[in-house]
Structure 1
Amino acid sequence: MSQLRVSIGQCSDKGLKAINQDFHGVLVPKEPQLSAKGVAVVLADGISSSDVSQEASESSVTGFLADYYCTSEAWSVKKSAQTVLGATNSWLYSQTRQSQYRYDKDRGYVCTLSALIVKSTTAHVFHVGDARVYRLRGDDWEQLTDDHRFWVSQDTSYLSRAMGMDSHLEVDYSAHPLIEGDVFVLATDGIYEFVADKFVRQAIEGSHNDLDKAAKLILEEALEQGSDDNVTVQVVRVDSLPEQDVKSLYHELTELPFPPVLEARMEFDGYLIIRELYASSRSHVLLAVDTQTQQQVVLKTPSVDLRDDPAYLERFLIEEWIAKRVNNAHVLKAVSHTRKRHFTYTVNEFIEGQTLTQWMIDNPKPDIELVRGIVEQIAKGLRAFHRAEMLHQDLRPENIMIDTTGTVKIIDFGSTRVAGIMEMSTPVEHHNLLGTAQYAAPEYFLGESGTVQSDIFSLGVIAYQMLTGRLPYGAKVARCKTRAAQRKLVYETLLDEEREIPAWIDGVIKKAVHPFPEKRYDVLSEFIYDLRHPNQAFISKTKPPLMDRNPVLFWKSVSLILALSIIAILSRC
């Protein structure tokens, strides 16, 4: 199995300026961060009109390299980088506002910034300002960024976008698939305005084994050609990309042996088995006691029948990884494990209570306030997933527990999609449809990837089932494999003559479970708010006709209209 390897060369000089307002940096982390976060290359260029822009450049680069690697491993590169850049921009802007330059932003803490993140088999480019990022692939030389400059005339232009220039930061982002041998060049305007593209390519090709030398040659050429600005250039070459075949992945996943068949009263790896809680063809779940701490825990062991399935093993092991990274009162918590494990299994907290499936059996006609409370707690847990750029993708009553205190917790993360992990190279094919068909959003059956709206659909179905005991479309959703078929789905109203459910609630649930994701709620908070607060749009749609609401007023109105009509006719005679 090969890993990501890059070669980097860089060089910077003040040139003819009194000080160097550019700043640059590179960080090549060791595993596991190399796979999880990638290699970061950053370049910032201060503006000459400011006496403090070199501080902005240095803060932007050092802050990015430090903070990017502190973001969640579950986040995508895009979210991680943009979050860090947004925070840095706010800090720079506030520094200017608190200084003597608060009325002249061109003299404040302002700089350009371009960053290259190489993760797995993709290059991620982030850019604001007028430094540039190029890619050299064979003989193809391509500029990957646009200059953020406003041209007043042929000779006069102004920087239109930069770090610290405004309270709001707009960052250009692009992703580029990699092949071995790709070369990226990051350069300030003091370089690219004076060095021909042909010279850059020749310098890189002529110094193949010493990219620092190539960077220095490019910098010296810029100065010889009359560059009167600070000059900085970085050269990044992709030497190898991560490759992993199914065989090597299987060996990695099965480094620890499968547990033996576990039964009550057995001692296993420091745990005393109490009893079996649940068993299926995919896993065995057991209640156990940690013999050191006397804490009750839940052990989950993989199915022996699926021991030759790398995709299954990968999903099984990632569940505990997810549980350790989603810290929320309404999400199953992983138990910290200090002892060395000798087998493949996971350890989670024990929840004493019942599944939502059993709760619905025990409460066939629950009060609407009880339903609201449960849905709101599920939403809080689900929101924790979404904030971590995760989609649960298998939200169903069997995967929701209600403990003895009434606290609702989401369990089972075997289908969860993690943005940061999806960016990593793997030979295992992951299918979009991982959840349970009755609760899965219609877009999954079209082969599309899930979104936040997909989880909202599942939550809406659960809310509908709690109120009615049935599903909004029956079993028809799973049979609809085209958009045309999905258009024919007919929502069955949850209103019932025997239930005291406000009519506008039906509109809320109907929107949450709409067949098309773009017509559902955008975020969970909107759905939860509408469950408690009558939405005028749903009130007007569900409002009964005047004859039903006030028959006397209806017939009075009809009589008045008839009387006025007769008077109008007689007046014409």
Structure 2
Amino acid sequence: MASAQLSLSYGQAFVAPDRRHHRSSMSVRFPEPALLNAKGASALISDSTSRNAIAKQAGDLSVRGFLADYYSTPDHWDVKTSATRVLRALNGWCYSQSQFVAEGSFVSSLSAMVYRCREAHLFHLGDTLVFRLRGAEFEQLTRDHVTDLGGYRYPSRALGMDVSIDIDYVQVPLKQGDIFLFTTQAVLGTLMPSEYVQLIRQDASDLNAACDRLAEAAVQRAQSRGYGAEQFCFQLVRIDELPDEQPDMPGRPYGDLPIPPELSPGDRLDGLEVQAVLSRTAQSRVYRVRDAHTEREMVMKAPSPELSTRNAYLEHFLLQQWVVERVKSPFVVRIMEPSRPRRYLYYLMAYVEGETLAEWARRHPQASLVQRLDIANQLGKAVQALHHRDLLHQQIHPGNVLIDRHGQVVLTDFSACRMRDGSNHKAARELARQVGLTEHSAPEYALDDEIGRRSDQYSLASTVYWLLTGELPYELTPNRLRSHTDLEQLVYRSARTRNPEVTPAMDEALRRALDPQRSLRFRRMSEFRHALRQPAGAARGDAQGGRRRDTAHFWQGVAGILLLLLVLSWLLR
């Protein structure tokens, strides 16, 4: 006899004179069985303020963004870890994008409930409302986070309101027949708890009809009391069936897949034939492979067979594919899906036919300043793409940068890549150390200081400095620092003394991005990229200006000689 699976029903009702200008959004997702077992079903509601000019976009984006990212998180993450990381990343994006909006912001309240196995996990931000109806008991599960300003109630602790967020998390056991109501602050002052129970129970078999009854009753009550009745939304979710028992919980760090054995050209694994060994390190193996079914050439990355099961890098390896999948940029290598199920622990990337930046520099010693700055600009875009998804690369150096046949830069190797988490600097720093610090690593990695986006900025600037001069910016490489007193030995060596084409403005931009003190570097990567672009134009402008000045001087000289000849001709008459 087959065991029972989680099953639920839902209904929705929306009241708005113009759906194009609504400020609330709601959704339910019930995925296919495999994803349901790993991630569960989810129901969400979001709401933005009526005074927000882009309320509709803020509400819709928060719901769509959560659903898209939550179901893309690694299977071995539990519900709390997955949802919390997704909400923090989504909050960072909303907060940063609000800085570019003249009127309005990407701020919204959000309540997301994930139903997995026999439990519900509620994540709450702001002032949206979630109630549970169990029998005759009607209980509010969320807390209202609001602030009164000038007679208006504004949500506080909402998504996108601040650079960091405080998420309410509640875990509740499920019972068959539980009904959850999702709604917004607009209903306050309309219906009483007993009326909610009566209207829902009137015919609980049709949840859409129940939502319609709630909406109609709320509108009538609001109109009779002189309230605004333009924006109401109701969403009901009922637990129809629960699984017989808890399945295996996610969270086993390495899953059930074994590490691949040592491979050589000609060997096959899951229908993938090894064409060449690209890299062998203490942590990983990288192979160029060919899919026998699709005939595609790809790059396979697998953990080293020598790693123990307690190795921190092995735990992080499972996250690398997910990390790279989040980034959509032509300057960051793409993840490829295998044509058949994997029997071993590895992931696949697009094969880029090209050479590393180190190889390119050796083969093009006479490359112009414009060519080198173009590479630097592309690499900056790649790092920015990671930062926009709240990711740190932590291993930017010439060996991890590929240049294809068309001169396009592709950033590879995400062994030390990690989500930026302001409260967990130590874990990110230790991961970078285990993978291995390089001569381009920022000083804070060696000195146990806080790390962040400016640490990547340092590595990028060090790589650009090397690209322009062929040398390093400091005589003592930062990865060899032993104490903070050693920072005094980091005296910047001007790039202009090693490459006269480097302009003073460009040299100053490099010096600032390479400052040993993280707080003194550029605040944003875009500022550094802008500072590097400006000198290129200035250099061309100086050259053109110099040519114009030389031409002007020539004709001034000719005019002077003609004037002198004219004066002499008058005097000799």
| TM-score category (smaller protein) | 0.5 to 0.7
Equivalent residue number for residue 348 of structure 1: 349
Preserved CA contact (<8 Å) 2:257 2:343: yes
- Number of paired residues? 458
Distance 1:345 1:45 in 2: 42
Matched, 1:77 2:87: yes
Q: 1:263 to 1:521 in 2, by over 3 A?
A: same
Distance 1:448 1:414 in 2: 21
- Residue 322 of structure 1 and its aligned partner are, at CA, apart by 3.5
* Unmatched 5+ stretches in structure 2: 1-5, 16-21, 74-84, 115-119, 132-140, 174-179, 195-206, 208-213, 238-245, 540-573
Match of 2:373 in 1: 372
Residue of structure 2 in register with 1:473 after alignment: 474
Question: What residue number does 1:514 align with?
Answer: 515
Question: Alignment partner for residue 45 of structure 2, among 30, 42, 52?
Answer: 42
Of 430-439 and 408-417, the range deviating more from structure 2 = 430-439
Instruction: Note if contact 1:190-1:228 (Cα within 8 Å) is conserved in structure 2.
Output: no
Indicate conservation of the 8 Å contact 1:355/1:397, yes or no.
yes
* Other-structure match for 2:145: 145
Aligned sequence identity (%): 22
Matches within 5 A, 1:2-151: 25=26, 27=28, 32=35, 41-42=44-45, 44=47, 65-66=63-64, 68-70=66-68, 73=72, 76-80=86-90, 114-117=109-112, 123-126=123-126, 145-151=145-151
SS at match of 1:328: coil
Query: Displacement of 1:410 after TM fit?
Result: 0.9
Could you give the per-residue CA deviations for residues 436-476 of structure 1, whole angstroms, max 9, x where no partner exists?
Answer: 42222233345455433222111100011223333223445
Q: Which letter does structure 2 place at the counterpart of 1:516?
A: Q
Question: 1:295: which partner in 2?
Answer: 296
Q: For residue 145 of structure 2, what is the amino acid of its counterpart? A: T
CA separation of 1:291 and 1:124: change in aligned 2, threshold 3 A: same
Query: For the residues of structure 1 that align with 2:386 and 2:62, how far apart are their CA atoms?
Result: 25
CA distance 1:22–1:227, shift in 2 (3 Å): farther
Would you say the 8 A contact 1:441–1:458 is kept in 2?
A: yes
Deviations 1:486-531 (A, max 9, x none): 4663222223267443233211111111223332223333322322
- Number of the residue aligned with 1:412: 413
SS at match of 1:292: coil
Query: Does the CA contact (< 8 Å) of 1:464 and 1:472 recur in 2?
Result: yes
Query: Deviations along 1:518-560, whole A, 9 cap, x unmatched?
Result: 322233333223223239999xxxxxxxxxxxxxxxxxxxxxx
In structure 2, give the amino acid aligned to 1:42: I
Work out the CA distance in 2 between the residues paired with 1:405 and 1:45: 46
Q: More displaced, 60-69 or 519-528? A: 60-69
Q: Distance in 1 between matches of 2:142 and 2:325?
A: 42
Contact 1:400 1:409 survives alignment (8 Å): yes
Contact 1:42 1:116 in 2 (8 A): yes
Q: Is the 8 A contact 1:365 1:467 kept in 2?
A: no
The answer on whether the counterparts of 2:109 and 2:155 sit within 8 Å (CA) in structure 1 is no
> 1:352-371: CA deviations, max 9, x gaps?
33222233444567542232
For residues 129-178 of structure 1, give each alpha carbon's deviation from its aligned partner in whole angstroms, at most 9, with x where no partner exists: xx7899xxxxxx99652335413xxxxxx56799xxxxxx9846741464
**Corresponding residue for 1:443?**
444
Over 3 Å counting, the alpha-carbon distance change for 1:46 and 1:318 in structure 2 is: closer
Q: Does structure 2 conserve the Cα–Cα contact (< 8 Å) formed by 1:38 and 1:117?
A: no
Structure 1 CA distance for aligned equivalents of residues 406 and 275 of structure 2: 23
| Corresponding residue to 2:428 among 431, 439, 445 | 431
- Does 1 or 2 have the higher relative contact order (CA < 8 Å, sep 6+)? 1
Aligned AA for 2:506? I
Structure 2 equivalent of residue 523 of structure 1: 524
Counterpart Cα distance in 2 of 1:28 and 1:481: 52
- Residues 196-225 of structure 1: CA distance to partner in whole angstroms, max 9, x if unpaired? 9xx9xxxxxxxxxxxx9xxx9xx99xx9xx
Instruction: Report if aligned partners of 1:116, 1:125 keep a CA contact under 8 Å in 2.
Output: yes
Task: Label 1:367 to 1:243 Cα distance change in 2 as closer, same or farther (>3 A).
Answer: farther
**Residues 397 and 124 of structure 1: is their aligned pair in 2 closer, same or farther, counting only changes over 3 Å?**
farther
Indicate how the Cα distance of structure 1 residues 33 and 512 shifts in structure 2: closer, same or farther if over 3 A, else same: farther
Change (3 A) 1:334 1:194: closer
Q: For structure 1, list consecutive stretches of 5 or more residues without a partner in the other structure.
A: 15-20, 95-111, 135-140, 152-157, 163-168, 200-211, 539-573
The corresponding residue for 2:211 is none
Q: How much has 1:332 moved relative to structure 2?
A: 1.9
d(CA) in 2 for partners of 1:293, 1:232: 48
Alpha-carbon distance in structure 1 between the residues aligned to 2:13 and 2:236: 12
Q: Distance in 1 between matches of 2:527 and 2:332?
A: 21
TM superposition shift of 1:125: 1.0
2:110 is matched by which residue type in structure 1?
A
1:194–1:227 Cα contact (<8 Å) kept: no
Of 184, 188, 196, the match for 2:185: 188
Give the AA of the match of 1:77. L
- How far did 1:303 drift? 0.9
Given residue 45 of structure 2, which amino acid in structure 1 is its aligned partner? V
| Partner SS, residue 306 of structure 1 | coil
1:68 Cα deviation from its structure 2 partner: 3.9
1:401–1:410 Cα contact (<8 Å) kept = yes
Shift of 1:228: 7.4
In 2, Cα distance between equivalents of 1:22 and 1:409? 40
Q: After superposition, what is the alpha-carbon deviation per residue over 1:178-198, rounded to whole angstroms, capped at 9, x for unaligned? A: 4656999987376479999xx
1:255-266 maps to which residues of 2 (within 5 A)?
255-266=256-267
Aligned to 1:340, the other structure's residue is in SS state coil
Partners of 1:302 and 1:345 within 8 A in 2? yes
Following TM superposition, by how much is the alpha carbon of 1:272 offset from its aligned partner in structure 2, in angstroms? 2.6
1:188 touches 1:233 (CA, 8 Å); kept in 2? no
Q: 1:181 to 1:227 in 2, by over 3 A?
A: farther
CA distance, structure 1, for counterparts of residue 488 and residue 225 of structure 2: 63
Match of 2:3 in 1: none
CA RMSD of aligned residues (A): 5.8
Amino acid at match of 1:70: A
Q: Which residue of 2 aligns with 1:202?
A: none
Q: Distance in 2 between matches of 1:377 and 1:22?
A: 38
Q: 1:11 to 1:447 in 2, by over 3 A?
A: farther
Q: 1:537 to 1:85 in 2, by over 3 A?
A: closer
1:175 aligned residue (166, 189, 192): 166
Of the three residues 223, 246, 253, the one matched with 1:249 is 253
Q: Is the 8 A contact 1:395 1:439 kept in 2?
A: yes
Q: In the TM superposition, what is the alpha-carbon distance from 1:312 to its structure 2 partner?
A: 2.4
Q: Contact between 1:148 and 1:159, CA under 8 Å: does it hold in 2? A: yes
State whether residues 392 and 413 of structure 1, in contact with CA within 8 Å, keep that contact through their aligned partners in structure 2: yes
Distance 1:235 1:445 in 2: 53
Instruction: Name the SS of the counterpart of 2:329 in structure 1.
Output: coil
> 1:321 maps to which residue?
322
Q: How far off its partner does 1:232 sit? A: 9.1
TM-superposition CA deviations, 1:364-409 (whole Å, max 9, x none): 6754223212211212222222233322111111111223333221
Code of the residue aligned with 1:80 in structure 2: it is L
- Cα distance in 2 for residues equivalent to 1:536 and 1:408: 21
Change (3 A) 1:501 1:288: same
- Structure-2 residue corresponding to 1:209: none
Instruction: Name the CA distance, whole Å, in 1 between partners of 2:165 and 2:316.
Output: 29
- The CA deviation at 1:432 is 2.5
TM-score, normalised to structure 1, is: 0.61
Cα distance in structure 2, aligned partners of 1:287 and 1:317: 20
Q: Answer yes or no: is the 8 Å Cα contact 2:183–2:234 preserved in 1.
A: yes
Inter-partner Cα distance in structure 2 for 1:487 and 1:121: 51
In the aligned structure 2, how far is the partner of 1:193 from the partner of 1:149? 22
Distance 1:445 1:176 in 2: 33
Contact 2:444 2:450 in 1 (8 A): yes
